[in-house]
């Protein structure tokens, strides 16, 4: 895969972390202390936008204080179009959110805050265009891990004047304690987390948000562009679902209390407009960009998701029917004709091991040999084999399991249908997790295990074995909720929607032609890399180009894959096509870096297939 340096790299605009090279908006007045977390805007509509700041209290300062805000057409604030006062106090962690109304469609505005003789940094925002919208440029980001790398992607996006909005698909922050999921080289350069413990309480989450908002590149991003955001799992805890999380233990208290704390801190510290203030846990919502596109934001993590499946605990293993007519001497039944003639009450299916030492696996059918076996201490050469077909049908295909919950599934279907009915050209779905089908190819033979790897040879061989059976690589993604995915695809087809799915979470770059279980082209997916969290190439030492080739050859829906670089996706929407361009930075483990331009893919109206774009 060939990479080209952008003009910015050639011009040497890449200063280290800090204010150098950033736009003039977003820079605080000299000596300002009360607005040290910057400013932000978000959830733009044609006539309104939410603006945000935080008033840092002095030590020992309590009570309610007043912040003055101003919104103007120009950066010099000669043409002020909205102003007023807003209270803030400890109940909102001193954060201020104002939904500024009465604005014009498709217009840029500047805003600032004042208190106690101090003025905040200046922010620039933009409303959504009206019915005459002819194009939209979106920067799609996710997975910003403070102690794993610098936020260079944010810096690059902040410099771009042609971005209309930033779409943040979650993992705005990470909940781990100091030393957890961190790069020691990066931590040694001053990027240690606060608080040092794992985030559990509301105070914990607030402190971590404050740390992230102290980053100059994140401040610059927020000051330069409005953001539309949804949460993923790390805003609360890793691999969250509605009733718990992989990274939540009993000694950490009730899950609902922790979940509400993470949600609340996220709402306080980001510029979001709740669709239903009476139900603050709901963040799925829709934004219409004239007749150009509807942006439909989903919550595939916290509101309705059932617990993830696990190969370790949920796998169905190959079994054989046994005739228990004589309970003291059960016999395996391998003849289907005989099986049909037996009383139902006399038949039990028994998971049996297989002898793997011959050319083909041979089932062990002697009940006396298998009835007391310890699965962890099988005789040498014996193994239990997954029953891939039953696992797909009974677990992955279980219609009772949901990714979004019934209420949100119905809402999403209604939004797709209503958008098409209104004559809106594209339905852009912003959500957290990979939707495309993905299984692991063979890569163990190209990995250098003499170098540190995050996954052992044995683990990779097990993953490869699942891949040979066509089973998913990641059960936390939509692949682990196959029936729910088919219901969503059915809603797309019923609405005759032109859908582009935008995804985050995986830390790698992907593009898929999405097809339903019958193979019908349904939509396309563009998934972005992480801002700083590590990808596959950081987990294992293998030739990247060969890894990419094998993934592409093994997965029919997969169109593009990059496991190496951190960055973002820029999505350009026009009436004729949606184009995704992947942008990367050369490194995140040091302040110096170079921007790299990645692949460009395009889907034309009504084609539902990605093509290379220029």
What does the pLDDT read at residue 30? 44
Single out the residue in 107, 127, 147 at which a domain terminates.
127
Chain CA centroid to CA 423, Å: 29
**Tokens at residue 89, please?**
């106090």
Q: Residue 25: which pLDDT band, with cuts at 50, 70 and 90?
A: low
448: CATH: 3.60.21.70
d(C-alpha 506, C-alpha 523), whole Å: 19
d(C-alpha 530, C-alpha 332), whole Å: 52
What's the whole-number mean pLDDT along residues 127-143? Answer: 97
- 7 lies in a domain? no
What's the whole-number mean pLDDT along residues 160-167? Answer: 96
- 21 lies in a domain? no
Convert the pLDDT of each residue in 50-81 to its tens digit: 999 999 988 767 788 999 999 999 999 999 99
- Cβ atoms of 148 and 185 closer than 8 Å: no
- Cβ atoms of 513 and 499 closer than 8 Å: no
- Cβ atoms of 566 and 598 closer than 8 Å: no
What does the pLDDT read at residue 18? 38
d(C-alpha 372, C-alpha 391), whole Å: 25
What does the pLDDT read at residue 7? 25
* Sign of CA pseudo-dihedral 409, 415, 416, 421: positive
- 323 and 355 fall within a common domain: yes
Pick from 291, 226, 168: which is nearest to 43 by CA?
226
Output b/e per residue, 318-328; b: 16+ Cβ within 10 A. Answer: bebbbbbeeee
Instruction: Please name the residue that has the structure tokens 């995804």.
Output: 503
Which 3 state secondary structure label does DSSP give 151? Answer: coil
Rounded to 5°, the CA angle 62-65-70 comes to: 150
What's the whole-number mean pLDDT along residues 151-180? Answer: 97
Q: In the chain, how many domains are there?
A: 3
Helix axis angle, 255-269 to 202-213, nearest 10° = 30
- 177 lies in a domain? yes
Element (H, E) at 355: strand 354-355
**Tokens at residue 9, please?**
């790299």
Q: Residue 568: which pLDDT band, with cuts at 50, 70 and 90?
A: very high
Rounded to whole angstroms, what are the CA distances from 47 to 50, 289, 566? 11, 12, 35
Convert the pLDDT of each residue in 370-382 to its tens digit: 999 998 899 999 9
- 112 and 137 fall within a common domain: no
Range list of H helices, 437-582 = 457-468, 482-495, 536-539, 544-554
- 106 lies in a domain? yes
Across the strands, what pairs with 72?
A: 80, 110
Rounded to whole angstroms, what are the CA distances from 163 to 215, 582, 603? 21, 14, 20
- 556 and 503 fall within a common domain: yes
Across the strands, what pairs with 317?
A: 386
Q: Residue 6: which pLDDT band, with cuts at 50, 70 and 90?
A: very low
d(C-alpha 152, C-alpha 554), whole Å: 33
Question: Is the predicted pLDDT of residue 120 greater than 50, yes or no?
Answer: yes
**Tokens at residue 67, please?**
């912040």
292 versus 16: which is more confidently predicted? 292
d(C-alpha 505, C-alpha 528), whole Å: 8
Q: Residue 243: which pLDDT band, with cuts at 50, 70 and 90?
A: very high
Question: Is the predicted pLDDT of residue 20 greater than 50, yes or no?
Answer: no
Which 3 state secondary structure label does DSSP give 584? Answer: strand
Question: Is the predicted pLDDT of residue 597 greater than 80, yes or no?
Answer: yes
82: CATH: 2.60.40.380
Of the listed ranges 313-317, 371-375, 571-575, the one predicted with least confidence: 371-375
Across the strands, what pairs with 332?
A: 322
- 84 lies in a domain? yes
Q: Residue 188: which pLDDT band, with cuts at 50, 70 and 90?
A: very high
- 268 and 346 fall within a common domain: no
Q: Residue 33: which pLDDT band, with cuts at 50, 70 and 90?
A: confident
Q: Residue 1: which pLDDT band, with cuts at 50, 70 and 90?
A: very low
Single out the residue in 385, 414, 435 at which a domain terminates.
385
Single out the residue in 67, 100, 127 at which a domain terminates.
127
- 285 and 427 fall within a common domain: yes
Question: Is the predicted pLDDT of residue 22 greater than 60, yes or no?
Answer: no
What's the whole-number mean pLDDT along residues 216-239? Answer: 98
Domain, as residue range, for 558: 132-299+403-614
Q: Residue 23: which pLDDT band, with cuts at 50, 70 and 90?
A: low
| β-sheet with 558-562: strand ranges across | 285-289, 293-297, 426-430, 499-503, 521-527, 509-515, 558-562
Convert the pLDDT of each residue in 515-565 to its tens digit: 999 999 999 999 999 999 999 999 999 999 999 999 999 999 999 999 999
What does the pLDDT read at residue 610? 98
- 81 and 227 fall within a common domain: no
Pick from 154, 215, 221: which is nearest to 186 by CA?
215
- 164 and 43 fall within a common domain: no
Cβ neighbours of residue 4 closer than 8 Å, sequence gap 6 or more: 596, 597
Report the length, in residues, of the chain.
614
What does the pLDDT read at residue 96? 97
Secondary structure, 3-state, 45-85: CCCCEEEEEECCCCCCCCCCEEEEEEEECCCCCCCEEEEEE
Q: Residue 27: which pLDDT band, with cuts at 50, 70 and 90?
A: low
- 394 lies in a domain? no
Of the listed ranges 144-158, 354-368, 495-509, 574-588, the one predicted with least confidence: 354-368
- 434 and 489 fall within a common domain: yes
> Would you give the DSSP letter of residue 146?
G
- 26 lies in a domain? no
Question: Is the predicted pLDDT of residue 19 greater than 80, yes or no?
Answer: no
Q: Residue 10: which pLDDT band, with cuts at 50, 70 and 90?
A: very low
- 460 and 575 fall within a common domain: yes
Convert the pLDDT of each residue in 389-445 to its tens digit: 999 999 999 999 999 999 999 999 999 999 999 999 999 999 999 999 999 999 999
The rounded percent of the chain whose pLDDT value lies above 90 is 88
Of the listed ranges 25-39, 89-103, 543-557, the one predicted with least confidence: 25-39
- 64 and 42 fall within a common domain: yes
- 142 and 122 fall within a common domain: no
- Cβ atoms of 466 and 441 closer than 8 Å: no
- 12 lies in a domain? no
- 203 and 273 fall within a common domain: yes
What's the whole-number mean pLDDT along residues 240-252? Answer: 97
């Amino acid at each position: 895969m060939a990479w080209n340096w952008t003009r910015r790299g050639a011009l040497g605009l890449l200063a280290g972390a800090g204010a150098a090279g950033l736009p003039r908006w977003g820079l605080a007045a000299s000596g300002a202390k009360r607005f040290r977390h910057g400013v932000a805007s978000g959830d733009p509509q044609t006539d309104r936008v939410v603006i945000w700041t935080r008033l840092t209290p002095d030590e020992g300062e309590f009570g309610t204080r007043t912040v003055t805000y101003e919104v103007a057409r120009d950066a010099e604030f000669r043409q002020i179009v909205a102003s007023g006062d807003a209270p803030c106090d400890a109940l909102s962690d001193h954060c201020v959110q104002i939904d500024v109304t009465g604005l014009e469609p498709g217009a840029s505005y500047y805003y600032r805050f004042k208190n106690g003789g101090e003025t905040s940094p200046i922010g620039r925002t933009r409303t959504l265009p009206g019915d005459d919208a002819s194009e939209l440029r979106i920067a799609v980001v996710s997975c910003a891990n403070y102690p794993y790398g610098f936020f260079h992607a944010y810096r690059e996006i902040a410099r771009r004047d042609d971005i209309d909005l930033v779409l943040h698909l979650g993992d705005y922050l990470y909940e781990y304690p100091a030393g957890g999921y961190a790069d020691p080289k990066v931590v040694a350069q001053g990027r240690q987390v606060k608080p040092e413990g794992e985030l559990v309480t509301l105070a914990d989450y607030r402190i971590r948000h404050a740390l992230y908002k102290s980053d100059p590149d994140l401040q610059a991003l927020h000051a330069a562009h409005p953001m539309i955001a949804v949460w993923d799992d790390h805003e609360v805890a890793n691999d969250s679902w509605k009733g718990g999380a992989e990274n939540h233990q009993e000694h950490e208290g009730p899950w609902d209390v922790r979940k509400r704390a993470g949600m609340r801190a996220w709402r306080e510290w980001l510029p979001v407009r709740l669709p239903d203030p009476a139900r603050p846990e709901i963040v799925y919502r829709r934004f219409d960009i004239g007749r150009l596109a509807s942006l439909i934001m989903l919550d595939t993590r916290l509101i309705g998701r059932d617990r993830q499946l696990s190969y370790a605990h949920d796998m169905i293993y190959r079994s054989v029917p046994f005739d228990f007519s004589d309970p003291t001497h059960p016999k395996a039944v391998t003849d289907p004709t005989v099986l049909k003639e037996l009383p139902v009450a006399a038949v039990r299916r028994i998971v049996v091991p297989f002898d793997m030492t011959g050319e083909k696996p041979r089932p062990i059918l002697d009940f006396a040999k298998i009835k007391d076996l310890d699965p962890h201490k099988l005789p040498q050469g014996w193994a239990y084999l997954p029953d891939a077909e039953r696992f797909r049908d009974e677990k992955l295909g279980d219609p009772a399991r949901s990714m979004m919950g019934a209420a949100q599934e119905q809402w999403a279907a209604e939004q797709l249908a209503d958008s098409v009915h209104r004559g809106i050209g594209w339905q852009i779905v912003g959500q957290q997790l990979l939707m495309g089908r993905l299984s692991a190819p063979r890569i163990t033979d190209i990995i250098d295990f003499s170098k540190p790897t995050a996954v052992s040879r044995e683990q990779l061989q097990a993953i490869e074995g699942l891949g040979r059976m066509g089973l998913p690589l990641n059960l936390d993604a939509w692949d682990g909720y196959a029936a729910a995915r088919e219901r969503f695809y059915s809603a797309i087809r019923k609405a005759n929607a032109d859908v582009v799915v935008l995804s985050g979470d995986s830390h790698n770059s992907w593009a898929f032609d999405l097809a339903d279980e019958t193979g019908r082209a349904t939509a396309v997916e563009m998934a972005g890399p992480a801002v700083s969290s590590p990808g596959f190439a950081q987990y294992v030492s293998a030739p990247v180009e060969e890894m990419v080739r094998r993934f592409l050859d093994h997965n029919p829906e997969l169109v593009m894959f990059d496991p190496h670089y951190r960055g973002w996706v820029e999505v350009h929407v026009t009436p004729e096509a949606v184009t995704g361009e992947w942008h990367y930075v050369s490194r995140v483990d040091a302040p110096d870096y170079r921007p790299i331009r990645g692949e460009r893919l395009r889907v034309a109206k009504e084609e539902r297939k990605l093509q290379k774009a220029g």
